[in-house]
Amino acid sequence: MKKIKRALLLLTVFSMLAAVISGCGADTKDAADADGKITVSVGLWPDKDTEPKSYERMENLRTSFMEENPDINIVPDTWKFDIQTFMPKAEAGTLPTIYRAFFTEASKIMEFGYAADITDAIKENGYYGKMNDYLYSNISKNDRVYLLPYEMYSLGLLINMNLFREAGLVNENDEPIIPKTFEELRETAKTIHEKTGKAGFVFPTAENGGGWNFMPLAWSYGTTFMEQKDGNWVSTFNSESCTDALKLLRDMKWEDDSLPANTKVNNEEVIKLIGTDQAAMAFAHPGQLNSLVNSYGMDRNDIALAQMPSGPEKHVTLMGGSFYVIEPNATKEQINAALKWIEFTGFSPDIDDEGKERYRQTMETKREQDADIIGIFDITVWNEKATSQSFKRELTNEFRNIPEKNVKSYNDNKENIEYQVEEPVCAQDLYSVLDRCIQEVLTNKNADCATILETANSDFQNNFLDYEN
């Protein structure tokens, strides 16, 4: 009896162990589920509790899509891209069939093979050739396309109208008096600080946000950050132009005192400082603006977005965005089904009457829900060959909920400015190096910009670029 008991005990322990071990390695992904449907899981699904309105909208879309396409099963997945959970998920093969990631991660995702090749599929459905040309280098590798740009952004100058009004920087029509150059930006910030006591300008310094915002500033002073010489990457920002760009920040901090006292600021905190009337200006793109309303309760009349000021050498801004990725293990059927779904949600170069109607409904609900800011035009994925472009613009104007005068400068000036994408190699590493430079300049009154950049330049070469060559 005892023996049997003991044997049973051992057996239980071992079977539990076996279950644990086999559970770890189980591959639960199937292209088709039991009733022969093609399963497509979609990431970035809104959370039922925290975003009930968007959740409802997506659920409705999902139901009508599955009615129209009975052979496709859409499975919601609330996972949203985040670098820390991404890699483990990619390795475990548990990524949703469609996920969305940022332009900054594009090269890594393609290099590590975490994206399916969609070249044939988008040639078939006619997307190929209708995208803006400058995008191709960012979404393809060896002439194969892996990523599908979803939305593009370009940085502009975010303005808090409350502080502008308080400082008398609005005209008789309540339009902000926008700084056109970085010198004017400095003067404006100084005026605001003198008249309101609040920070005139806020520049991020932490979590790579500082380096990211520093790009358009330094570019417009004429800086090139890296060059390829004889096939080797060489760091080149120990230049006079870069020093001048950094000096602007130093002078704004120590001569004008127009930057906030706290110098550990990440991108989110920048928005918070603007949203709580603690700072008047910052660099931002339209996608960052919704939280001004949603998280900080700002009135849309008090938000303005202007074009990026120009520098002594160039008038340039940073372009980025996000793109759809289809996970690398997807079958051909899954890829096609995924593209169908993406098109159904309103993303396609051409639009038929049905699509127009759906888009109108989406805009109506958006307007009703009053969560997003409607009325800002950013740069677009599609070129002039796409018919959906003009329609969407019309509709956006119809449903706008931010006064046009507040965003006119950003909306109307798409031609007179250059768009530059992030640096080709080690962009995030460059940002981390530049973050440190900006921190040094903003915390050390006697900092010498040229020396700091000399060190940073050789650090960047030695710690990062040398390993790319």
- Provide the binding-site residues for other proteins, judged by CB under 8 A: 6, 9-10, 13, 16-17, 20, 83-84, 87-88, 90-91, 108, 111-112, 114, 205-208, 260-264, 266, 428-429, 432, 435-437, 439-440, 442-444, 455, 458-459, 462-463, 467
Residue 64 vs 458, nearer CB to other proteins: 458
Residue 209 vs 311, nearer CB to other proteins: 209
* Least separation in angstroms between CB 116 and other proteins: 16
* Least separation in angstroms between CB 222 and other proteins: 25
Residue 244 vs 435, nearer CB to other proteins: 435
* Least separation in angstroms between CB 215 and other proteins: 17
* Least separation in angstroms between CB 202 and other proteins: 13
**Per-residue burial over 306-320, b = 16 or more CB atoms within 10 Å of its CB, e = otherwise:** bbbbbbeebbbbbbb
Going from the C-alpha of 467 to that of each of 67, 165, 192, 463, the distances in angstroms are 52, 51, 45, 8
Residue 2 vs 67, nearer CB to other proteins: 2
* Least separation in angstroms between CB 90 and other proteins: 7
Q: What angle do CA 192, 195, 196 make, to 5 degrees?
A: 75
Helix (H, G, I), strand (E, B), or coil: what is residue 167? coil
Cα dihedral sign, 191-296-395-78 = positive
* Least separation in angstroms between CB 461 and other proteins: 10
Helix (H, G, I), strand (E, B), or coil: what is residue 22? helix
Count CB neighbours of 266 within 10 A.
Answer: 16
Q: What share of the chain is helix, strand, coil (3-state, %, to 5)?
A: 50, 15, 35
Residue 228 vs 458, nearer CB to other proteins: 458
The H or E element that residue 317 is part of is strand 316-326
* Least separation in angstroms between CB 269 and other proteins: 11
Residue 30 vs 82, nearer CB to other proteins: 82
Residue 331 vs 463, nearer CB to other proteins: 463
